[in-house]
């Protein structure tokens, strides 16, 4: 139905031309009339138009005027994440001394503190944990080893879990976190734990383990960490990957600039110029 509506609009715009007479400039003129739509909708319209002209080129042996036309770029969506308040809400529902509550508290604290990937967390073994140094050694993508830093609250939660774990882990199981069966958590198992705790906490958004990785990166930057340090903590090969994880609005970016730049600070909105004159002419970008 979307394609049909797109073609109907196209035919109305170019009703003065026969299909074989349409040229690339005519298609471009039509595309410019779609400026009220989102880039995703424009992509649908252009896809329908291109399919139509491809068919026409074969059936009537005419030129395809859409060969050089490219769809608009997809709008890059920032990945979703949980904020500190939401993490606190999830921790608050892990109440009591039952083994599942103790394990889930340790899981959530560790995910938020380290920013570990699901696979890294699930493959971590008790031998990889060094609570005295507040680190856990994990194996990331490309089989690269790195030390993930544990916060004081994560260390306390893990200490509690290590006291309970021997009663739940299967014989010979070395995985740091175990399931009901006493074996290492599966990807689905971890996802179900996070999903259940988020629902219990009353969070509206669908929460999954990877969102804690984004939350860790964003919290680190807001707390003053530099991008290079965050890159190392998350185990990224490039800074571009790290930047994708950061969620900062304009207000937050200004706060970071004010705190870090030697000329940063509050802005005096009154116009001031050298020599007491008026505002400078021109507004060119440098």
CA dist., res. 89 & res. 82, Å (int): 10
Residue 254 lies in a domain: no
10 and 151 inside one domain: no
Point out the residues that are catalytic: 117, 141, 210, 213, 236, 245
181 and 108 inside one domain: yes
pTM: 0.64
Per the structure block, which two tokens stand in for 285?
Answer: 């970008």
147 and 44 inside one domain: no
Give the number of C-alpha atoms closer than 13 A to the C-alpha of residue 2, restricted to the C-beta side.
Answer: 9
CA dist., res. 41 & res. 239, Å (int): 32
203 and 109 inside one domain: yes
Residue 283 lies in a domain: no
Say how many domains are in the chain: 2
CATH number at residue 149: 1.10.443.10
The position carrying tokens 């139905």 is 1
155 and 208 inside one domain: yes
36 and 128 inside one domain: no
Residues contacting 62, CB < 8 A, separation 6+: 19, 20, 56
Domain boundary among 10, 45, 60: 60
115 and 223 inside one domain: yes
| Res 228: pLDDT | 84
What DSSP line would sit under 4-30, residue for residue? HHHHHHHHHHTTTS-GGG--HHHHHHH
Residue-wise pLDDT for 169-206, tens only, equals 999 999 999 999 999 999 999 999 999 999 999 998 88
30 and 95 inside one domain: no
CB 149 within 8 A of CB 111: no
List of the chain residues with pLDDT < 50: 268-286
CB 112 within 8 A of CB 212: yes
Task: Name the residue range of residue 37's domain.
Answer: 2-60
| Res 134: pLDDT | 94
Partners of residue 130 on adjacent β-strands: 135
88 and 221 inside one domain: yes
Residues contacting 196, CB < 8 A, separation 6+: none
Residue-wise pLDDT for 268-281, tens only, equals 433 333 333 333 34
Domain boundary among 194, 217, 234: 234
151 and 193 inside one domain: yes
**Number of neighbours of residue 243 by Cβ within 10 angstroms:** 14
Buried b (16+ CB within 10 A) or exposed e, 43-68: ebbbebbbebbeebbeeeeeebbbee
Residue 274 lies in a domain: no
CB 145 within 8 A of CB 139: yes
| Res 277: pLDDT | 39
How many helices and strands (H and E) does the chain possess?
12, 3
């Amino acid at each position: 139905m979307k394609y049909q509506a797109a073609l109907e609009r196209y035919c109305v715009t170019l009703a003065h031309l026969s299909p074989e007479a349409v040229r690339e400039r005519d298609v471009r003129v039509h595309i410019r009339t779609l400026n009220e739509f989102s880039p995703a909708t424009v992509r649908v319209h252009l896809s329908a138009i291109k399919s139509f002209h491809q068919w026409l080129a074969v059936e009537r042996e005419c030129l395809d005027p859409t060969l050089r036309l490219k769809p608009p770029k997809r709008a890059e969506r920032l990945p979703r994440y949980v904020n500190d308040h939401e993490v606190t809400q999830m921790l608050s529902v892990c109440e009591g001394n039952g083994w599942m509550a103790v394990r889930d508290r340790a899981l959530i604290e560790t995910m938020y503190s380290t920013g570990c990937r699901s696979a890294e967390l699930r493959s971590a073994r008790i031998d990889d944990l060094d609570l005295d140094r507040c680190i856990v050694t994990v194996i990331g993508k490309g089989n690269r080893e790195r030390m993930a830093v544990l916060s004081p609250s994560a260390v306390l939660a893990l200490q509690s879990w290590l006291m309970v774990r021997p009663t739940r882990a299967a014989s010979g199981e070395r995985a740091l976190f175990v399931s009901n069966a006493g074996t290492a958590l599966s990807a689905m198992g971890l996802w179900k734990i996070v999903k259940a705790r988020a629902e219990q906490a009353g969070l509206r958004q669908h929460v999954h383990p990877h969102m804690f990785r984004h939350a860790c990166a964003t919290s680190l930057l807001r707390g003053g960490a530099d991008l290079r340090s965050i890159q190392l903590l998350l185990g990224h090969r490039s800074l571009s990957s790290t930047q994708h994880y950061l969620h900062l609005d304009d207000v937050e970016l200004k706060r970071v600039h004010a705190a870090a730049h030697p000329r940063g600070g509050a802005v005096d909105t009154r116009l001031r110029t050298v020599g007491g004159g008026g505002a400078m002419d021109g507004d060119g970008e440098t």
